Amino acid sequence: KAGVTQTPRYLIKTRGQQVTLSCSPISGHRSVSWYQQTPGQGLQFLFEYFSETQRNKGNFPGRFSGRQFSNSRSEMNVSTLELGDSALYLCASSLGHSNQPQHFGDGTRLSIL
Amino acid sequence: KQEVTQIPAALSVPEGENLVLNCSFTDSAIYNLQWFRQDPGKGLTSLLLIQSSQREQTSGRLNASLDKSSGRSTLYIAASQPGDSATYLCAVSRGNQGGKLIFGQGTELSVKP
Query: Per-residue pLDDT tens for A54-97?
Result: 998 999 999 999 999 999 999 999 999 999 999 999 999 998 87
pLDDT at B97 over 90: no
Q: Which residues contact B65 (CB under 8 A, 6 or more apart)?
A: B50, B55, B56, B73, B74, B76
* Closest Cβ opposite residue A98 in set B42, B46, B93: B93
**Cis peptide bond upstream of A39, omega within 30:** no
Nearest Cα neighbor of A76 from A84, A87, B107 is A87
CA distance B110 to B70: 28
pLDDT at A48 over 70: yes
Q: How confident is the model at residue A1 (pLDDT cuts 50, 70, 90)?
A: low
Segment A5-26 shows an average pLDDT of 97
Q: How confident is the model at residue A101 (pLDDT cuts 50, 70, 90)?
A: confident
Looking at the complex, does the CB of residue B59 fall below 8 Å from at least one CB of chain A?
no
Question: pLDDT per residue over B58-78, tens digit each?
Answer: 999 999 999 999 999 999 999
pLDDT at B17 over 80: yes
| Residue B95, pLDDT score | 67
* Closest Cβ opposite residue B103 in set A32, A43, A96: A43
**Percent of chain B's residues with pLDDT above 70:** 96
pLDDT at B88 over 80: yes
> What are A44-52's contacts with CB under 8 Å, separation 24+?
A44/B103, A45/B100, A45/B101, A45/B102, A46/A76, A48/B97, A48/B98, A48/B99, A48/B100, A49/A74, A50/A96, A50/B99, A51/A96
Element (H, E) at A48: strand A42-50
Looking at the complex, does the CB of residue B44 fall below 8 Å from at least one CB of chain A?
yes
**Entry field: residues in chain B:** 113
Q: How confident is the model at residue B31 (pLDDT cuts 50, 70, 90)?
A: confident
Looking at the complex, does the CB of residue A21 fall below 8 Å from at least one CB of chain B?
no
| Residue B41, pLDDT score | 86
Looking at the complex, does the CB of residue B30 fall below 8 Å from at least one CB of chain A?
no
In terms of DSSP bridges, do strands B10-14 and B107-112 run parallel, antiparallel, or are they unpaired? parallel
- Geometric angle at alpha carbon A73, from A69 and A74, rounded to 5°: 80
- Geometric angle at alpha carbon A7, from A65 and A9, rounded to 5°: 110
User: Contact at 8 Å (CB) between B73 and B90?
Assistant: yes
pLDDT at A98 over 80: no
**Cis peptide bond upstream of B8, omega within 30:** yes
Residue B73 to chain A, least CA–CA distance (Å): 17
